[in-house]
């Protein structure tokens, strides 16, 4: 469903991604794990067509994202890290707008919006202005706009960051629930989260894939922990050298 | 094409979900109203005793009152328009919502034209506010309604060109206030450049001590620079139109500005896709 082939991304002289390759099969739930600055968000931004890669190609379905951006974007629902929302709009009008630009047929908009509102627990705030929503509800709304129209691929950039423990549990349940029928790629730096939500973990460090590990039974495999901690230690050593 | 409409609808509604739309319409209404009353009273004074004001007879109403009023309205919109344009892209950049917009399956064309259409919607409302003042004259004067409509059309065209410049500036800058200030600065420079050019002599012969070829080059360059500067102020062509004089070149002039800056906005957004 997703194929990444030797993606490299430079920000000026800084190499954020260095020849990264991986692929995701249909229905797979994959976690992109890595310390801060590993290149997770950059990878996701390239896959969603927000920015181009410097080199390499990425396919969503059968479409190369840079060559067929519109077709590829139709297959993807995306939740950015900061959950940017149009603060002045109401939940209702925002979701209606998203449904329109995602190309959902006019007669289906109300039912599709109602469906995600129900799924994401937004019924009680449906008519509220986004500005007045709590962080938890904003995150739910971000998820709702991502899954609206039921795109086959869902990309979530640190979906639980900044939430309180109760909200984290709720959002994880939600992701687990809709992840049953979609291909999900989510980034995080929380080990227990990937173990709970994902069937596979790709570990990124300093723009490179340093591990690609299968997860079974909701436990954090020792292998993930080892590779992840090694990556963090290497990062710290580099920082010390730089200092 | 439907997406243009969806983006425009959202953008237009947002103007009135925030104070921006109301402030813009309120300011235009207030300032144009004051200008209308003051200039009308002045015209009444002049027409009662034209000799005192240096006229040999009662001056032409359209030339003395109507045309300057419409040009004033155009200039007012020019300097207030950053209120509208600064949010078009800069606000999306600063709030991060551009990341969502760029990852939805819509083309840059839909985003740019949709946003521009929404700003034209606000412009149309401001022209309606100005029309409210102008049409008050109809029962008391023998002005042809077509003259008024043409004057209002000149304000609209001028506003349209101004909005396209503002939208381009907004697509380059990620903080709304800075985008607004830069747009304001651009309009001011255009406005001043034209006034400076008007005061420059038509021909500026180069010093005779220079070789003749060099003299010719300098004179031609001077001519070109002055001609370009004279065309820069956006209100110049509106003056003719506001008198009810129909010349296609005036309309083409505003359309060219608009198309050029919409094209630049396209390039500006497209630049994010350049592989770097």
Chain B residue numbers with beta carbons less than 8 Å from the beta carbon of A45 are 99
Can you tell me the distance from the alpha carbon of B249 to that of B182, in angstroms, rounded to the nearest whole number?
Answer: 29
Candidates B1, B14, B95, B104: best to mutate against A (most CBs of A within 10 A) is B104
Nearest to B173 by CA among B268, B104, B243: B268
Chain A residue numbers with beta carbons less than 8 Å from the beta carbon of B100 are 78, 80, 84-85, 145
Q: Encode pLDDT of A136-163 as tens digits.
A: 899 999 999 999 989 999 999 988 887 8
Mean pLDDT by 10 residues, chain B (276 residues): 93 94 94 90 85 81 82 90 92 93 94 96 94 82 80 91 95 93 91 85 76 84 87 81 80 94 94 73
Residue B275: the pLDDT is 58
Can you tell me the distance from the alpha carbon of B257 to that of B237, in angstroms, rounded to the nearest whole number?
Answer: 12
Half-sphere exposure of B255 (CA within 13 A, CB side): 6
Residues A111, A133 share a domain: yes
Which structural domain, as residue segments, surrounds residue A230?
Answer: 1-75+159-243
Residue A51: the pLDDT is 92
State what percent of residues in chain A have pLDDT above 70: 90
Can you tell me the distance from the alpha carbon of B226 to that of A51, in angstroms, rounded to the nearest whole number?
Answer: 43
Neighbours of A78 (CB within 10 A): 26
Q: Is residue A93 less than 8 Å (CB to CB) from chain B? A: yes
Q: How does residue A239 score in pLDDT terms, banded at 50, 70 and 90?
A: low
Residues A91, A61 share a domain: no
Can you tell me the distance from the alpha carbon of B126 to that of B140, in angstroms, rounded to the nearest whole number?
Answer: 24
CA distances in angstroms from B101 to A50, A140, A193, listed in the order given: 9, 18, 28
Q: A101, B14: Cβ pair inside 8 Å?
A: no
Residue where a domain stops, chosen among A151, A174, A193: A151
pTM: 0.88
Pick from B18, B106, B272: which is nearest to A51 by CB?
Answer: B272
For chain A, what is the domain count? 2
Can you tell me the distance from the alpha carbon of A218 to that of A201, in angstroms, rounded to the nearest whole number?
Answer: 12
Residues A97, A19 share a domain: no
Q: A78, B103: Cβ pair inside 8 Å?
A: yes
Q: Tell me the count of A-B CB pairs closer than 8 A.
A: 74
CA angle B247, B251, B253 (to 5 degrees): 110
Q: Encode pLDDT of A101-135 as tens digits.
A: 999 999 999 999 999 999 888 999 999 999 999 98
Residue A218: the pLDDT is 58
Residues A98, A121 share a domain: yes
Q: Is B101 exposed, middle or buried (0-12, 13-18, 19+ CB in 10 A)?
A: buried
Residue B233: the pLDDT is 81
Residues A183, A131 share a domain: no
Residues A240, A210 share a domain: yes
Residues A172, A127 share a domain: no
Residues A163, A146 share a domain: no
Chain A residue numbers with beta carbons less than 8 Å from the beta carbon of B3 are 100-101
Q: Is the dihedral of CA B243, B244, B250, B256 positive or negative?
A: positive
Pick from A54, A84, A103: which is nearest to B275 by CB?
Answer: A54
Can you tell me the distance from the alpha carbon of A44 to that of A22, in angstroms, rounded to the nearest whole number?
Answer: 13
**Mean pLDDT computed over A45-73:** 92
Q: A102, B10: Cβ pair inside 8 Å?
A: no
Q: Is residue A76 less than 8 Å (CB to CB) from chain B? A: yes
Residue B181: the pLDDT is 94
Neighbours of B165 (CB within 10 A): 24
Q: B104, A101: Cβ pair inside 8 Å?
A: yes
Residue where a domain stops, chosen among A91, A120, A151: A151
Chain B contacts in chain A segment 183-242 (CB below 8 A): none
Query: By the 8 A CB rule, do A143 and A157 touch?
Result: no
Residues A110, A65 share a domain: no
Residue A94: the pLDDT is 96
Chain B residue numbers with beta carbons less than 8 Å from the beta carbon of A80 are 96, 99-100, 103
Nearest to B89 by CA among B272, B274, B265, B275: B265
Neighbours of B179 (CB within 10 A): 28
């Amino acid at each position: 469903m997703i194929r990444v082939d030797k993606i490299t991304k430079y920000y000026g002289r800084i190499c954020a991604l260095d020849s990264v390759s991986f692929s995701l099969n249909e229905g797979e739930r994959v976690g992109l794990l890595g310390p801060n600055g590993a290149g997770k968000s950059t990878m996701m931004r390239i896959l969603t067509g927000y920015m181009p890669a410097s080199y390499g190609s990425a396919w969503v379905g059968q479409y190369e994202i840079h060559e067929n951006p519109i077709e590829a974007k139709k297959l993807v629902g995306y939740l950015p890290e900061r959950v940017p929302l149009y603060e002045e709009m109401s939940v209702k009008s925002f979701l209606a707008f998203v449904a329109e630009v995602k190309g959902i047929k006019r007669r289906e908009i109300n039912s599709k919006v109602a469906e995600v509102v129900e799924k994401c627990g937004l019924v009680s705030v449906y008519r509220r202005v986004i500005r007045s929503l709590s962080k938890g509800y904003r995150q739910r709304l971000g998820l709702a706009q991502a899954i609206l129209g039921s795109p086959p691929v869902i990309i979530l950039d640190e979906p639980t960051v900044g939430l309180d423990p109760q909200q984290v549990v709720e959002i994880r349940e939600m992701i687990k629930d809709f992840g049953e029928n979609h291909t999900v790629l989510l980034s995080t730096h929380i080990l227990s989260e990937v173990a709970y939500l994902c069937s596979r973990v790709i570990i990124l460090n300093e723009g490179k894939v340093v591990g690609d590990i299968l997860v079974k039974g909701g436990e954090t495999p020792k292998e993930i922990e080892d590779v992840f901690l090694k990556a963090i230690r290497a990062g710290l050593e580099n920082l010390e050298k730089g200092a | 094409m439907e997406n243009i409409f969806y983006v425009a609808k959202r953008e237009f509604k947002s103007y009135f979900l925030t104070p921006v739309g109301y402030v813009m319409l309120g300011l235009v209404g207030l300032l144009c109203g004051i200008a209308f009353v003051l200039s009308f009273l002045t015209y009444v004074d002049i027409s009662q005793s034209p000799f005192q004001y240096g006229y040999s007879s009662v001056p032409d109403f359209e030339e003395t009152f109507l045309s300057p009023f419409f040009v004033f309205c155009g200039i007012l919109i020019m300097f207030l328009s950053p209120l509208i344009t600064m949010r078009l892209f800069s606000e999306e950049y600063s709030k991060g919502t551009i990341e969502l917009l760029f990852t939805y399956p819509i083309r840059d064309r839909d985003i740019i034209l949709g946003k521009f259409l929404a700003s034209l919607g606000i412009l149309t409302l401001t022209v309606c506010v100005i029309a409210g003042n102008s049409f008050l004259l109809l029962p008391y004067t023998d002005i042809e309604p077509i003259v008024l409509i043409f004057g209002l059309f000149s304000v609209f065209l001028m506003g349209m060109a101004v909005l396209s410049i503002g939208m381009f500036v907004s697509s380059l800058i990620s903080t709304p206030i800075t985008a607004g200030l830069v747009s304001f600065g651009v309009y001011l420079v255009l406005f001043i450049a034209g006034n400076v050019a008007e005061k420059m002599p038509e021909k500026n012969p180069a010093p005779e001590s220079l070789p003749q070829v060099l003299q010719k080059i300098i004179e031609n360059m001077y001519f070109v620079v002055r001609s370009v500067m004279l065309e820069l102020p956006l209100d110049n062509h509106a003056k003719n139109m506001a008198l009810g004089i129909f010349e296609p070149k005036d309309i083409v002039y505003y359309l060219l500005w608009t198309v050029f800056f919409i094209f630049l906005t396209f390039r500006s957004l497209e630049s994010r896709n350049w592989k770097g």
